[in-house]
């Protein structure tokens, strides 16, 4: 299978073929995703919640993100690997953003970075793209702004915010983003943005009309059970299976049933 690049993303949009992306934070998961033909793997800052058990994405550090990105990049031979820039690694100024984005490519082995934010981050996007760092944008529900919005509700329901999102999408595309995550916005707004912008839109809780879709892998595998929003389709119930396996192991060890002579040397 041919290596997926940022160019492939654009080609798939122009051919009206859907892009399938998922998150990963470790080598094993990334290797399975890559084997199955996933187009892109996002090393998301959602790792802070589903890997580290924190209540928000805010406290994950650059060093933690680089650590996970390295593991994923090591496994992905076909998929495009995108490193998610953590909170406060790109907001202070474009210079700091550039240094941190560079680390994702140089140390982490990522092939692109993702930044949350609308038209206000356009100068930073231009700076990164200008030195050859591909940027994926992310608008709508932007989890790093959870405290500003007071939660994880649907964005873009009112006319003013919807117009802000459409304008932001166009400006981010003009600034050189190669794709754009649309998170938790009404289906009609996602459709409008997808039709208007020249770059592929990747939806999460944004309906079926986006150019591609992404989910957090622990959500779609039924591993993360803290909450289950309606946009998550569970393709497996791994938490149940793992619990069963762990309980069986404990029972076997305590009952002297594991290991058997056949499993011994
Ligand atoms: O951090 C993440 O996993 C994300 C996706 C939900 C898009 O930003």
The confidence band for 202, taking pLDDT boundaries of 50, 70 and 90, is very high
Q: Is the pLDDT of residue 226 over 90?
A: no
1 domain residue, yes or no: no
Nearest CA to ligand 1 atom 1: 44
Enter the tokens of residue 248. 């069986």
Residues 172 and 41 in one domain: yes
The confidence band for 191, taking pLDDT boundaries of 50, 70 and 90, is very high
| pTM for the full predicted model | 0.97
**pLDDT reported for residue 196:** 98
Residues 156 and 200 in one domain: yes
Residue of 139, 214, 215, 227 to test ligand 1 pocket, by largest number of atoms within 8 Å of CB: 214
Query: What confidence tens digit (pLDDT) does each residue in 80-92 have?
Result: 999 999 999 999 9
Residues 100 and 129 in one domain: yes
**pLDDT reported for residue 152:** 96
- 224 C-alpha to ligand 1 centroid (Å): 14
**pLDDT reported for residue 1:** 74
- 245 C-alpha to ligand 1 centroid (Å): 29
What is the C-alpha separation between 147 and 149, in angstroms, rounded?
A: 5
Domain that holds residue 244: 238-265
Q: Is 116 in the pocket of ligand 1 (CB under 6 A)?
A: no
Residues 98 and 127 in one domain: yes
What is the C-alpha separation between 220 and 118, in angstroms, rounded?
A: 27
E strand or H helix at 215:
strand 212-215
Q: Is 39 in the pocket of ligand 1 (CB under 6 A)?
A: no
Q: Is the pLDDT of residue 228 over 90?
A: no
- Angle between helix 122-130 and 159-175 (nearest 10): 20
Residue range 173-180: mean pLDDT, rounded: 98
169 domain residue, yes or no: yes
How many other CB atoms are found less than 10 A from the CB of residue 4? Answer: 24
* Lowest mean pLDDT segment, chosen from 18-32, 116-130, 218-232: 218-232
Residues 208 and 244 in one domain: no
The confidence band for 124, taking pLDDT boundaries of 50, 70 and 90, is very high
Query: Residue 96 is part of a domain; what is its CATH number?
Result: 3.20.20.60
């Amino acid at each position: 299978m041919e290596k997926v690049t940022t160019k492939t993303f654009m080609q798939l949009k122009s051919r009206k073929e859907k892009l399938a992306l998922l998150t990963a934070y470790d080598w094993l998961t990334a290797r399975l995703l890559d084997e199955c033909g996933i187009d892109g793997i996002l090393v998301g800052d959602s790792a802070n919640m589903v890997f580290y058990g924190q209540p928000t994405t805010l406290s994950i550090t650059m060093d933690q993100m680089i650590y996970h990105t390295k593991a994923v990049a090591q496994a992905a031979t076909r998929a495009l690997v995108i490193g998610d820039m953590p909170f406060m690694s790109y907001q202070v100024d474009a210079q700091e953003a550039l240094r941190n984005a560079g680390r994702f490519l140089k140390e982490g082995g990522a092939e692109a970075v993702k930044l949350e934010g609308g038209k206000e981050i356009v100068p930073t996007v231009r700076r990164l793209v200008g030195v050859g760092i591909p940027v994926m944008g992310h608008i709508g529900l932007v989890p790093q702004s959870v405290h500003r919005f007071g939660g994880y509700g649907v964005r873009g329901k009112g006319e003013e915010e919807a117009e802000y999102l459409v304008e932001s999408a166009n400006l981010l595309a003009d600034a050189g983003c190669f794709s754009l995550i649309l998170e938790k916005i009404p289906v009609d707004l996602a459709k409008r943005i997808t039709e208007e912008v020249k770059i592929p839109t990747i939806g999460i809780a944004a309906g079926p009309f986006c150019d591609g879709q992404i989910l957090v892998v622990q959500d779609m595998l039924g591993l993360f059970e803290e909450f289950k929003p309606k946009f998550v389709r569970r393709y497996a119930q791994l938490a149940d299976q793992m619990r069963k396996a762990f309980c069986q192991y404990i029972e076997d060890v305590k009952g002297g049933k594991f290991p058997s002579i056949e499993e011994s040397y």
